[in-house]
Amino acid sequence: MKSKRVFFIVLLITAALLYISFFGLHLGSLNLKGADEMRFGIDIRGGVEATYTPKDLGRAPTSDELESAKSIIETRMDAANITDREVTIDSTNGSVIVRFPWKSDEEDFDPQKAISELGQTALLTFKDPDGNVVLEGSDVKKSYASVSQEDGSYVVVLELTDTGSTKFAEATGNLVGKPISIYMDDTEISAPTVKEQISGGIATIDNQKSLAAAKDLAAKINSGSLPFSMVANDANIITPTLGSSALDTMVLAGKIAFALVCLFMLFYYRIPGLVACIALTLQVVGQLLALSIPQFTLTLPGIAGVILSIGLGVDANVIVSERIKEELNSGKTLASSIDAGFHRAFSSVFDGNITVSIVSIVLMILGSGSMLSFGYTLLCGVLLNFVCGVTASRLMIRSLSGFKFLQKSYLYGARRIAE
Amino acid sequence: MKVIHFFKHRYIYFAISLCIILGGIAAALINGITLDIQFQGGTILKYTYVGAIDSQEAGSLVQTALGKTTNANEQTTVAKDEQMLIISLADNESITSQEQETVTSTLTKAYPDSQLALAESLSVQPYTGARFFKNGMLAIFLSFALILCYVGYRFRKIGGFSAGCMAIIALFHDAFVVTATFIIFKIPLNDSFVAAVMTVIGFSINDTIVIYDRIRENKTVMGSKTSTEELVDTSITQSMSRSINTTVAVFVSITIVYIFAQIYNIGSIKDFALPMMFGTVTGCYSTICIAGPLWTMWKNHEAKGAGKKA
């Protein structure tokens, strides 16, 4: 009787995934992140979210300008050692969105000041080894990434203004063989060595590791001539104490609610109820992994999506259990009742789940931020519902029904089991 | 199994729903509908503090410093024994982070002994808020349209379009009940609102589809001679224990979440869970008492029309 083992295999897989979802899996190059490394939105963990738009700019910013603005913000965040962050460009609305968590150990961190400082105009300077400024950001007309004509390596090209050309020709004339350091605010972003005097108003910085690195440096250099500063009119700050206690409380509430649902299922549906509990655990675990592995940011509306999909999971299991009971009461054998029950329940679970996934896809396409998070968790939940609520449940019930001592009508909540 | 006669008592259910809807409208007229600053734009700053602060005075200090009309009031949380000073700007104005710094420095200078600390701040431009609101509404209506198409196709055996329309009416009913909860409990409409409406819509449509699925199945089992009334009543009765069990499980879960959020005063969860509690109940109710009977009426009307023609 091979099929008897199936239940324990599913149980084992569930337990293994449960472990991974809590602690992650780190085997050589395989690095799956668990719940302990999950990304939480600022509404849960506390943090800062700010949308920067150009200040007093009468037109929409160009995409190059937004790239530069983004690179300014990123360089400053690097300098402030804020590495866990999201900086995204919203080109349709001409804004740069910044999100970062506020660690609870940073007590003297001033988020309001940080938001203001990130948006200020960048001060870009070129300095000689003695620290004298030889060129300023406004002397650079534009900068872009390119490929060297000679050896095909990636380079950054700087086009200088007329005054810039004169200043740079003089400086490079004196500094052949020495480095010129480029600073944004107080951060050194590059320190190329002068090979020869540059007088044509076109300078190149060679030896860029990749096209991305060249583009990044070009955007940073362009920031010096960015004609505007950025202000954050849309901003949200939540202290970590407020955020983390909300998370702890909700996790506790979730555990209690889950335990009660399991007790109810066990009490009411017996064996199908037990199977439902395992299937639901598998679904929740899958949902945690779907969030933590791709490092999707979980926000409060995301939790709402999780709640809804667990509700749908409960529903799928309830429908199946009720159907099996009905089939048993109508006088069928256990094996055929289980098959008929799943078969009949499938169409309603299928149509229900597809409809809900339509809603979640609409939300993912149209929504940003909170609606996107809700749509993503809901869609994952609905897909998992097929795997857990239908397939895994069926495998487990079929397997358990193979055990003689479990073939009792009261274990299925039915009045009788036909032989 | 004894079939419950839902159709016979349909006018009672319609009357109940009508009362709820009218109640919601009355509440909207009395309380007014408040959009939270996430939709409307504006600024709110929350500070924790110890000791005593006269919020009126604090408000006028900030007003002088910023040159913008400001409201201030206090709030205390039961569980954490914390006092909060809430500063909000009138006229839905959003302020820059520089201006926020001014608010903080003004207050800390005025009350040096109160250990004022920023707990939360939110600033939204009216333009951004309106866009967010518009997107939310668009998402809801687009989902409705797609649901109608899907149900229309999948349930063509029982007259998909009519079934789809009734499902949508039930969804509007539920969305309205959720909105009414927000209005009656004076919760400003914010992104919890969008999440709650979407969640309830998800539950409700799933519920309606489970019943339709049963009707579709019974149509084959019971034969074409059975009246629509009997078909629908039987189907609903057969699914009754499933409807109740699922609703109870979800309702209890949401209630636990709500109780915790209430004790620990987690605003965003509270604003979501309370309307959800009503939403799960109405999601089940609207399917059984609204969508089912209404669809039966439509079908009966169709049959009558066909009879007259013949």
Instruction: Domains for chain A: give ranges and CATH numbers.
Output: 3-40+239-412 (1.20.1640.10), 42-121 (3.30.70.3400), 124-225 (3.30.1360.200)
Domain co-membership, B24 together with B48: no
Give the model confidence (pLDDT) of B267-280 as tens digits.
778 888 899 999 99
Domain co-membership, B47 together with B183: no
Choosing from B62, B96, B124, the residue where a domain stops is B124
Give the model confidence (pLDDT) of B46-67 as tens digits.
888 887 788 888 888 888 888 8
Alpha carbon of residue B69 to chain centroid: 32
Q: Are A306 and A287 in contact (CB under 8 A)?
A: yes
Choosing from B124, B153, B182, the residue where a domain stops is B124
Residues from chain A that touch B118, judged by Cβ atoms under 8 A, are 111-112, 237, 239
Pick the range with the lowest mean pLDDT from A239-248, A274-283, B226-235: A239-248
Domain co-membership, B119 together with B142: no
Give the model confidence (pLDDT) of A209-229 as tens digits.
888 888 888 888 888 777 788
Q: What CATH number is associated with residue B209? A: 1.20.1640.10
Q: Which residue from B101, B191, B250 is facing A314, i.e. has the nearest CB?
A: B250
- Could you give the residue ranges of the DSSP H alpha helices within A330-405? 334-366, 370-385, 393-401
Is B5 part of any domain? no
Is B91 part of any domain? yes
pLDDT at B92 over 80: no
**What interhelical angle do A393-401 and A300-329 show, nearest 10?**
30
Q: Token pair 């066909």 is at which residue?
A: B306
Q: Are B268 and B192 in contact (CB under 8 A)?
A: yes
pLDDT at B99 over 80: yes
Q: Are B286 and B172 in contact (CB under 8 A)?
A: no
Q: What is the pTM of this model?
A: 0.81
Across residues B259-266, what is the average pLDDT? 84
Domain co-membership, B174 together with B102: no
Domain co-membership, B31 together with B67: no
CB atoms within 10 A of CB B145: 12
The helices-and-strands tally (H runs, E runs) of chain A is: 12, 13
Give the model confidence (pLDDT) of A20-57 as tens digits.
888 888 777 777 787 777 888 777 777 888 888 888 77
CA distance B22 to B30: 12
Pick the range with the lowest mean pLDDT from A270-279, A360-369, B163-172: A360-369
Alpha carbon of residue B301 to chain centroid: 33
Q: What CATH number is associated with residue B113? A: 3.30.70.3220
Domain co-membership, B169 together with B274: yes
Give the model confidence (pLDDT) of A92-133 as tens digits.
888 888 888 876 566 667 888 888 888 887 788 888 888 888
Residue range(s) defining the domain that contains residue B250: 10-36+128-305
Domain co-membership, B84 together with B184: no
Q: Which residue from B121, B203, B260 is facing A237, i.e. has the nearest CB?
A: B121
- Strand, helix or coil at B166? helix
Nearest to B190 by CA among B180, B199, B201, B182: B182
CB atoms within 10 A of CB B286: 28
* Beta carbons of B121 and A308 less than 8 Å apart: no
Domain co-membership, B217 together with B110: no
Q: Are A320 and A393 in contact (CB under 8 A)?
A: yes
pLDDT at B259 over 70: yes
Domain co-membership, B81 together with B148: no
CA distance B3 to A400: 34
Is B278 part of any domain? yes
Across residues B171-190, what is the average pLDDT? 90
Domain co-membership, B138 together with B267: yes
Domain co-membership, B150 together with B215: yes
Domain count, chain B: 2
Phi, psi of B42, deg, nearest 5: 145, -175
Choosing from B102, B124, B146, the residue where a domain stops is B124
Domain co-membership, B76 together with B154: no
- How far apart are the CA of A254 and the nearest CA of chain B, in angstroms? 7
Per-residue model confidence (pLDDT) at position B15: 93
For chain A, positions 50-79, list CB contacts with chain B under 8 A.
50-51
Residues from chain A that touch B194, judged by Cβ atoms under 8 A, are 301, 370-371
Is B1 part of any domain? no
Is B134 part of any domain? yes
CA distances (Å), A31 to each of A12, A193, A290, A292, in order? 21, 40, 14, 11
Residues from chain A that touch B193, judged by Cβ atoms under 8 A, are none
Q: Which residue from B120, B136, B209 is facing A352, i.e. has the nearest CB?
A: B209
Is B244 part of any domain? yes
Tell me the ipTM for this assembly.
Answer: 0.84
Per-residue model confidence (pLDDT) at position B209: 92
- Taking the CA atoms of B211, B216, B222 and B225 in sequence, report the sign of the dihedral they define: positive
Per-residue model confidence (pLDDT) at position A1: 44
Which residues have C-beta within 8 Å of that of residue A12, sequence separation ≥ 6? none
Average pLDDT of every residue of chain A: 85
Per-residue model confidence (pLDDT) at position B36: 79
Per-residue model confidence (pLDDT) at position B98: 82
Q: Which residue from B195, B216, B260 is facing A253, i.e. has the nearest CB?
A: B260
Nearest to B79 by CA among B270, B211, B212, B277: B270
- Taking the CA atoms of A340, A342, A345 and A346 in sequence, report the sign of the dihedral they define: negative
